[in-house]
Chain A
Amino acid sequence: MSSAPEGAALGLRFVVEGKDGGRARDADRLLAGLASRSPSRAGVARLLLDDSDAAGLDRLVRELNFAAIAAARGNLLFHAGAVSAPDGGTVILCGPSGSGKSTLTVRLVAGGSAYVTDETVCLDPVTLRVAPFCKPVSLKPGSQEALPHLRSLLGTADAPSSGGSWLVPPAALGGAALPSGPLWPQLLVFPTFQRGAACRVERLSAAHAAFLLGQNSSRLREVEPEPLQALARVVRRAPAYRIVHGNVDEAMQVVTDLWAAA
């Protein structure tokens, strides 16, 4: 058995164990954005890389996501992507699978923003500080049309295919480095991708935004001290918009404009 270096994700400390081989090296590359320098091995979770089939990496990333969410219980955990500006202001792109949040996240990073996460945004329920979770981006087939800058990479060793998706390490996304200071929510976006749809933007009321955040939350009942008050803090801090689009370029321009005005 071989061990990758220890990683850290939303309070979870982990090592990946699996057979020697190419996929072990792929795991190292994919999870480099989560490297931890802690010398202590106490309380470290062991995640197993199943090297026996092509979906092993995909399962590893999913297991990592579930374990990180469990370790972060008590916090606000939104099913969302996020990118940050140098001042720490963060756009949270919230929505279910298929809403286009990962594609928009990757495009915003390619435009110069810092990658925070593509899957789970973790906020302290009182301070609203955003915890980065720089896991590999999982892209579905079809998204490569909207990501021409990654097209040549997808499916190679640098962005392997696994379980029907492509796994792209954060280092391959481009973009700026994460700010050294705290990250905070500056703009909430709820994207919906509808093929062929004209771009529509709707400003959401605070309560409606809180409702949508709650609908896209994990472990909301475990948020301390009060989940609804925590949601209210977020929506009072950051304006919220719903964007329906059929074109990622248009959506990205809208998000950029809204972010500049936020």
Chain B
Amino acid sequence: MNPHLVPQRDTSLQALELDGEVLLYDGRQLRFLDGPAAAVWGRVDGVTTAGDLATAVAEQFPDQRSQAELDALAFVGQLERRGLVKTAERVLGPVYRKAPDVALVRDDDVILLLRLTEGTRRALSVTATRIWDLVLLGTDVEDVVLTLQEEYPDAPSSLPSDVRQLLAELVAAGLLVLHR
């Protein structure tokens, strides 16, 4: 199993967790996962890489950490071979979500963000609105920069840091939430 791949659960499966063990059902076959297999399944979230997932599971077994990490990585591979997870072909960067208490008003190609619990607001420029839209589609930061560089051939060299600074400001203002 390539540790940089990102496993995702097969959404057609019915899953039930009972006391840290897992039952999976696809309408034909019932599967039972316990121990490390259940721990691996529990951490498959469509965002965490197989390597990070294996590291997190191995931390539950500090005395045999390196072997546990290899075993956990092998389990991810088993889950894939059994059709219980699918793997993405590339590693995903940080993922952002709109904060739950934020409302948004769009006026053509600019938006006004309203933080309902605080009563604050922030208007985004055309470029900032474009960054906001790309990020909420799940585009990671590297691809946002590449997209903007294509759309704005005259973009300054500081564009990558500008994008990161904007996202950091939006997170600090409680308008965006870092999912990963």
Which residues of A lie under 8 Å from residue B31 when comparing CB positions? 211
Q: How far is the CA of A210 from the CA of B27 in the complex (A)?
A: 15
| B34 neighbours in A (Cβ, 8 Å) | 205, 207-208
Q: A235's closest neighbor in chain B, by CB?
A: B18
Cα(A220)–Cα(B31), bound, Å: 13
Among B15, B18, B21, B32, chain A packs the most CB atoms within 10 A around the CB of B18
Residue A19 CB within 8 A of the other chain = no
**Which residues of B sit under 8 angstroms from A215, Cβ to Cβ?**
30
How does the 8 Å CB contact mask read for B131-146 relative to A, with 1 for contact and 0 for none?
0000000000000000
Residue of B nearest to A215 (CB): B30
Q: How many residues of A contact B (CB 8 A)?
A: 17
CB distance from B158 to the nearest CB of A (A): 53
A261, B25: Cα distance in complex, Å = 32
- Closest-by-CB residue of B relative to A208 is B32
B30 & A207 in contact (Cβ 8 Å cutoff): no
B16 to chain A, nearest CB (A): 4
CB distance A227 to B25 under 8 Å? yes
Q: Contact size class for B? A: 10 to 19
Contact call A205/B18, Cβ cutoff below 8 A: yes
A231 within 8 A of B: yes
Q: Residues of B contacting A208 with CB < 8 Å?
A: 21, 32, 34
Interface string of B1-26 (1 = CB under 8 A from A): 00000000000001111110111010
Q: Which residues of B contact A210 (CB under 8 A)?
A: 16, 18, 23
Most B CB within 10 A of own CB, among A205, A207, A228, A235: A207
Contacts of B23 in A (CB 8 A): 207, 210-211, 214, 228, 231
Instruction: Report yes or no: B19 in contact with A206, Cβ–Cβ below 8 A.
Output: yes
Question: Could you say which residues of chain B place their CB within 8 Å of the CB of A226?
Answer: 14
Query: How far is A229 from B25 in the complex, measured between Cα atoms in Å?
Result: 11
Contact present for A228 and B14 (CB under 8 Å) = yes
Interface residues, chain B, with chain A CB atoms under 8 Å away: 14-19, 21-23, 25, 27-28, 30-32, 34
Taking A208-B32, A232-B16 as known contacts, 4 extra A-B pairs with beta carbons closer than 8 A to each other, sorted by chain A number, are A205-B34, A207-B19, A208-B34, A210-B23
Q: List 8 A-B contacts (CB under 8 A).
A: A205-B18, A206-B19, A207-B18, A207-B23, A208-B32, A221-B28, A228-B16, A228-B23
